[in-house]
Amino acid sequence: MIRPILAHPDPRLRMVSRPVEHFDDKLRALVDDMFETMYDAQGIGLAAVQIGVHLRLAVMHVEDNPKRVLVNPEYEALGEPMPLDEGCLSVPGMRDRTKTRRDWVRVRAQDVDGTPYEFEARGLEAACVQHECDHIDGKLYIDHLTPVRRSRLLKRYQKERERG
């Protein structure tokens, strides 16, 4: 089932999500909905908080990498900061340049059955991990923009939303 995606400045996007503790059919159904919602919106990642579910959970499918389910994810930054034209399904229609994403991370997470696993991600997939982990802690990529870029983007965003 495709779920509605919350859009900035919805305050629910700013809440910190709680750990997933129950690895049951309900979680599997939620993950299925998240993939369906993400593909429908042509995104490469989606955190549960973006559909109003405050669990530490995200799904990703970045380029040729495998589909990933990140339950209770944590990452360690291994690479260097890289510039990136970043966007977010919760800030629709906007993109801007961030400079804080690392180009290489090691991720520790659980799968949908609760089994711990690890992987390393590079480039866009590494950035996506950081972007989704931000969502889980109530942060958005616009928080990483310089103040000038952020206020310019938010002005444009507000105008487009007023126009409908």
In contact, 122 and 104? CB cutoff 8 Å = yes
- Cβ atoms within 10 A of the Cβ of 148, count? 8
Q: Minimum distance between the CB of residue 157 and Zn ion, rounded to whole angstroms?
A: 14
User: What are the tokens at 50?
Assistant: 């973006």
Catalytic site residue 132?
Answer: yes
Scanning residues 82 to 101, which ones bind Zn ion (CB under 5 A)?
88
Q: Which CB atom, from 59 or from 109, has the smaller least distance to Zn ion? A: 59
Q: Which CB atom, from 31 or from 59, has the smaller least distance to Zn ion? A: 59
Q: What mask of x and - would describe binding to Zn ion in positions 7 to 36, judged by CB under 5 A? A: ------------------------------
Catalytic residue (one of 36, 76, 132, 160)? 132
How many whole angstroms separate alpha carbon 29 and alpha carbon 48? Answer: 12
Q: Which CB atom, from 88 or from 124, has the smaller least distance to Zn ion? A: 88
Contact status: 124 vs Zn ion (CB under 5 A): no
- Positions marked catalytic: 132
